[in-house]
Amino acid sequence: MAAILLDGNKISAEIKAEVAEEVKSLTDAGLRPGLAVVLAGHNPASEIYVANKVKTCEALGMLSEKYTPPDTVTTHELLELVHDMNRRDEIDGILVQLPLPKQVDAKAVLEAVSPAKDVDGFHPMNVGYLSTQRPGLTPCTPAGIMEMLRRYEIPIMGAEAVVVGRSDIVGKPMAMLLTNANATVTICHSKTHDLPKVCHRADILVAAMGRAGFVTREFVKPGATVIDVGMNKITDRAEFDRYFRGNEKREAAFLKNGSTLIGDVHPEVAEIAGALTPVPGGVGPLTIAMLMANTVKACKLRRGHSLKQPALTTERA
């Protein structure tokens, strides 16, 4: 029996609707949540991402500001911009879009963002809050995955979870959130011995290593929930046939666009998994939704409002 597909677009729409209600309530109380985005230089992919974030902000009723320093911007100039936004009370979230121009010290700029406004959840202080289960801002993609698991009522407490990938953005915070929710968690990486055997133990398998179709059927326990965080582009016909031969809908789109997207999970896994996130339309839509939720959360934490429970809390144990 084919896996149940976990619909990220559906969950994203639910989260955004809840955020819009909270924004209206806060705005009626005189506190309109605000997000500032810094887009330095001219990276086409970054420009698309930022446009989507700004558009979503406005659709949900938030204050949205965008700053576009030139390619020639210096580290000092960006630090001054960040410090200025840190001082402004009406700005609750600051997002510095990566990559920054090569002459900029990206680490210094990111760490200059006030932890209270770090809606990406990357600041070392927020990492510490997550690890000690204190209120703080959590990285958007892992937080979105937790919302998906909860809203699809997939058991987490007591489950064996395996996370493949140890990045600071996804792998490590994902493992911490699952641990905080009382799963038994294993983090795997390129040096893990007999990776398929370790993954095969998992009730919940999170693939976040950035390798197209890497997780095949031998990695997956029958009936497991498989979360595919990967987003890889295929342009080669032979590679397309290896993964999608016989999929007429995919083939038509591939011939039209010259490319298609695949995650880190091989499509054959759908034949044995109990539940699976598709690519596209799985984890991806959750990231911006949780960025919006984090901005509202930052507004409440900064300006003294108690958090609404339980919908958008990302540290539930």
Q: Is-catalytic flag, 120?
A: yes
> Which ranges of the chain have pLDDT less than 70?
1, 305-317
Q: Which of 16, 92, 118, 120 is catalytic?
A: 120
pLDDT value at residue 305:
55
Q: Is-catalytic flag, 309?
A: no
Within 13 Å and on the Cβ side, how many CA atoms surround 64? 16
Q: Is-catalytic flag, 103?
A: no
- Residue 291 contacts by C-beta under 8 Å, 6 or more apart in sequence? 35, 53, 93, 95, 119, 120, 140
CA distance 181 to 148: 14
- The dihedral over CA atoms of 181, 184, 190, 193, expressed in degrees to the nearest 10, equals 180
pLDDT value at residue 309:
44
| Domains of the chain from N-terminus onward | 29-120 (3.40.50.10860), 140-285 (3.40.50.720)
Q: Which amino acid, residue 5?
A: L
pLDDT digits (tens, 9 = 90+) for 271-313: 999 999 999 999 999 999 999 999 999 999 998 754 454 445 4
Of all residues in the chain, the percent with pLDDT exceeding 70 is: 96
Can you point out the beta strands (E) in the chain? Answer: 4-5, 34-38, 63-67, 93-96, 160-164, 184-188, 204-207, 225-228, 232-234, 260-262, 275-276
pLDDT value at residue 45:
85
pLDDT value at residue 315:
43
pLDDT value at residue 170:
96
Q: Which of 16, 53, 117, 221 is catalytic?
A: 53
CA distance 244 to 82: 45
Q: Which of 16, 92, 97, 300 is catalytic?
A: 97
